[in-house]
Homo-oligomer: A and B are copies of this chain.
Amino acid sequence: MIAGSQQLGLSLASCKSLIHIFRMQRKDLSDDKCPVARTLDRVGDWWSMLIIRDAGFGLSRFDQFQESLGIAPNMLTRRLATLVETGFLERRAYSERPPRYEYVLTKKGRDFRPVLEALKAFGEEHYPKPKTKRA
């Protein structure tokens, strides 16, 4: 009935979000039947994914993330809070006076690595390394 339904193969076929065919204007995907949608609902913006990536490189402090990503402070504050709330990062005090916090990957955050690896492989194939502007 649906042409090309094998394009992404059987292993994704259990993910039948298409059966929500009468559910219009869906925004909240946190209870979606599809694990891809449930995951993207939590972490599906690139700031969040890049913060997880940088945390994987060992960045842990607010200013390190900000310098690496060039993200606006209020945006970074919000993303870090969400990543703590959703369990990807743990917030730890590393100084009492003055109070200072760092953000480190939880097990869940580390478990996100295969997604980043897959994005990396895709990017290497389809978006080859740009030439250095100042060689």
Contacts and interface: CB of A to CB of B under 8 A. Distances in A.
Given A4-B58, A56-B8, A117-B118, A123 B17 contact: no
B8 A38 contact: no
A91 interface: no
Give this chain's copy count: 2
| Chain A interface bracket (under 10, 10 to 19, 20 to 34, 35 or more) | 35 or more
A27 interface: yes
List 4 A-B pairs, minimum CB-CB distance, nearest first: A8-B56, A35-B123, A26-B70, A5-B58
Interface of A: 2-9, 11-13, 15, 17-18, 20-27, 29-42, 44-46, 49-50, 53-60, 64, 66-72, 87, 104-105, 108, 110-127, 129-130
